Chain A
Amino acid sequence: MSWLFPLYLAGAAAVIVPILLHLRRQPPKDRVAFSSLMFLEETERQPTRRRRLENWLLLLARCLILILLALMFARPFSRDGEAVGVEEGDSVVVLLDRSASMRRGELWKRGVEAVREVVEAAGVSDRLAVGLFDGEVEWVMAGDEGLPEARRGAVTGLAKVTPGWGETDLGRAMVSGLEVLAQWNEGGRKKRRLVVVSDFQEGAKLAELQKVAWPEGVVAERRVIALEEEGNLTLELVSGRTEEGEEGVANAEVVRRVRVSSSRETQQTSFELAWEGSDQGAVVQGFLPPGGRRVLKMPPREKGDEMPGVLKVTGDGLEFDNRVYVAPEQPREVRVRVAVDEEGALERAASPEYYLKRALLGTAAVRPVLETVTAASWAQVAGGGVVVSAGDGVRLGEAGIAAWRRILGEGGLGVYVVDGVSAEAELKALTGGLGWKVKEGGNRGDGAYAMLGEVDSKDRLLAPFADARLKDFTKVRFWKHRLVEVEGEGVKVLARFDSGDAAMIAVRQGAGTLLVLTSGWHPEDSQLALSTKFVPLWFGWLAAAGFSYEEEGVLQVGQALPWDFKGEGKVTGPSGQVGVLKAGEAFVAKEPGVYRAEASGGEKEARWFAVQLPAGEGRVSVMAEERLTELGVNLASGDEVAGGAGEVSAEVRERMDGVETEAKQRLWLWTLVAILVLVIVESMLGASRGREGSVAG
């Protein structure tokens, strides 16, 4: 039995008053004159020396009333979970943050300690679940009402775990906790608590909490584990890269940017940005005010971009968020086979192939390799890729058509320029029965020209022109074009001339796409090859056909690598560990660094991925309580762990537990009932004694 206000117990000393009153025997107050005492016998007086407790029952009742009053004010409660009977205990869900920010200092150790305290304070009848959370929630102990020893064992196991590198999705974790509590609620538990042990950093995500209404009866307890306020510099990769350089100049420099931000508490304002390890490159030095941020170009690397690199900012005490990982540039090689009637066509000026070679120079994402194929050599062509027939009288021949059909069927891209009526037969052969009709007729002559009237920029193949600023094709003039008509399944006209004639037709052909152009790009037919649209048009086609790696943005810990393993594959992590994946499996990065994914199946492909620390983890200042309450979280009042190094002392916590337990057990109410019963008994006893004419005590 414990007491909330044990000082009141001193009030029980008041029992001495009724005892003394009972001991003090009151002499009879009055004398009664009576006619004669001859029939009256003297009643034996109780001896004064041997003071006997008169009416001990009455005294007992009065003393008990006083004692119970003192007990009631002292607010008794039982710490023993079983002492209060068989009633159901509390439901407690404990969530421990294991995000990257918990790697700081001794936060993890203290977090585990805090969880241990909660677990040990839980009664035997309490239902308890313990979960670790970062971006996801992992349940360590899932609600089994085990013995305290088993629970302690589970918590001790936590000490061996190290925090991960994940982000802090506090919202999702709390919602998961609420779901667990909601499942348990069927048992009609008395009190439902959601205890979150975390550093409650500002960067934690709370969005999930907006989706749920906080259930009634659930109290969230904030146990803040935080370090002393300390400045922090965070380095982040900025999504997207640009290619700088003069327009039209090949091999433009790829520029990537990083963002350096400092926390409000930062004292030091200077920082240094440098490549880590043997990769000695330029060093950038800068200044940053507290709470400021700067976006900087990555300094150039000495050895170029062929190897993975780590860029590090120095200038603060918290190392964990100071690095950005950079994957090597890795353009994808794609073979572009151009049908020619003779070798050397690529160098013949004014031919379509000539312009093609000059346009497809390669980017950071894709590196086209041009090959010329004569009608005779189509049979030797193996593998997929892009096939091009640029018109200008070049014919594919039977072998060519067979090779095209194969390549298109495997997912390749074919670009076929219709140069005359003779192309109709080839188109029919290529598409296997679609009714193509090709007519000459688009030749205006006399300086007349056609322009592209409708461009379906919503189509994947024309995606680079989705931006309204780039959609303007009015500067491109077409001198000649053929009238091509086709109908059937999988046929789509992507662009039309202002006359309404089809300019660009896409035909689904197996897994691949056949693009049919009714006008060539060389100057004899049009100005297309000379316009600024030509290069983006081609790279748009290559990207849409899947020959370019998409811009992956910034990959973060906890996200799956954007790699579709068609066969088996393996992923080599930053510290050399290897994970083997089966087809269809996704690989989720657990730590920041550069990963190398290799497909071990048919295609010998490999790719680098740079995985960064989640963006919000660097913002380590303690989140304001209001941010939670604004989202409807029912925070327990007054029992948060103080920020900084301060933890609530065991004494205070014990007292808080006592207040809760007392409020739950309400033993004082029963004490009050007992007092009332005793008062009634006392009154009855007193009345009966009065009737007997006893000396009032």
Chain B
Amino acid sequence: MARRFILLFAALLAVLVGPVWAPAWADDTMPPAPYAYRQLDDPALEAKAEALMETLRCLVCQSQSIADSDAPIAGDMRNQVRLRIAHGEDPEAIRGWLVQRYGDYVTYAPRITTLTWPLFAAPLLLLGLAALLLRKRFSRVGQS
């Protein structure tokens, strides 16, 4: 009884979540999604999609963006990005959607959060340090 219940529950879950998750869980043996290896007809939209794809990480590859990968999941993500761009969605909204789904790992452009702020403080710190080093060196000359 319990087993049948679990099966039913799983089926329900699959029906509910399936359409949303299908692209990410696509089977390797299935033909690739239509826009995985096909560009959008409008060059301006394609350029927009391209710019976004270059900053999204392929989740199963070795440091490659989804624009640079043969992996099936990267193809599915390209398909998603192109379809959503074609529907007029904002690239940053698509990025947000993917981050929600896969976590911060998926975007190569780190967001400023409590965890990542040092990444953005570092350049400022380096600028300050550089200015200090240069000033110290040159002002000493002035004294001599």
Q: Do A and B come together as binding partners?
A: no
Give the B-binding residues of A (Cβ under 8 A).
none
Give the A-binding residues of B (Cβ under 8 A).
none
